[in-house]
Chains A and B, each alone.
Chain A
Amino acid sequence: MFQVRIHGRGGQGVVTAAELLSVAAFDDGLHAQAFPSFGSERTGAPVVAFCRIDEHAIRSREPVSIPDALIVQDPTLLHQVDVFGGLRPEGYVLINSGLSLGELGLGDWTAEFRSERLLTVAASEISRGHLGRPRPNAALLGGLAALTGIVSLEAIVRAIESRFAGKLADGNVAAARECHETVRAALEVFAGA
């Protein structure tokens, strides 16, 4: 079982991201379960959503407390909410930020984890370039596909296209592809280092 937890704020498409990830995993022939943290949604309030992915039917219904991967859509949550709580030592982290982990004040924290699995990517900027506004959720899914390999980029693209139409679909697909490429390039740098 591969468990993903997504942190963001109300209005940033956190729940949609978890749902799209589950649709992509399903498209890849896997079992997946996505669900929100069941809060009373308010714009700007911290929101959490979860996605479990497995080769077998998923029975558990509890929130993801020991994630294999984390997506942080809003870096202002880093020092406000325990976003890293329960992360496995071999876990993956993708933070939406143009700053490095060190610049975000996370330099010391990363020592316990595998550094090549912890990345930042400027997904808001990428999505702004394609959509005209910062909607990083779909872009980050492209990045997650590159970082973890848990789902294919093409499945993410099909999930986005099944959810959105027209320019919104095109922009989100382009953002997901660009984010995927950015993360892939960053991983190559790690591999070469």
Chain B
Amino acid sequence: MSEPDDARRPDEPAVALDEVVAVLGGFPVLAGATLRVDRGEIVLLRGPNGAGKTSLLRLCAGLLPVERGSGSIFGLDLATRRDAIRPRVGLLGHRNGLYDDLSVEENVSFWGATVDAAADEVDGAMARMGVDGRLGDVPVRKLSAGQKRRTALACLVARRAELWLLDEPHAGLDASGRDELDAVLRQAVGSGATVIVASHELERAGSLADRIVDVQGGQVTAGSEGSGA
């Protein structure tokens, strides 16, 4: 019998990892990570390069199998329900997942159409990220790094991602782009999304986050309140 949908279990946390071990190329990238993220939180993952931040995000996106321990996203088991988890999760890594030859609107429409989003949902997503109007017709290859980032975020909104996993989201953005991104993330959380950010830019990301989590050697080592709390 299949696991009940979490719509009937709204108290389940967005992310619940218990002593999770994940291996990549024979190397344990996560070595007993334990983490709980409640719905509607913004959590910053902090740690040096190679600490396991990106692996933690990829595990939450269902891209990395759980070798040992247990984990769930919105109450759905990461070991057995990855197919059900993925449509609810949006991972934005170093790359944007956009098609250069298509316009902004065509990209957002494509990703929206994968979940059968209506045209007004697509328009709304573009407007929220400030890539509507004349910018909508511009091919992605002609956009600045910040505009591409905002287009990628509009795609996440259009496909109704509930858990946003962002790896260095401020990278490549100018000061105003960073401010816009922060506003967008706060707005997303206000609309019910949960956000986990991995960033080296502690001052900026820390001011955004409700909670800061330290990642070291593939483990979650400590946590503290962020100034966004």
A, B bound? no
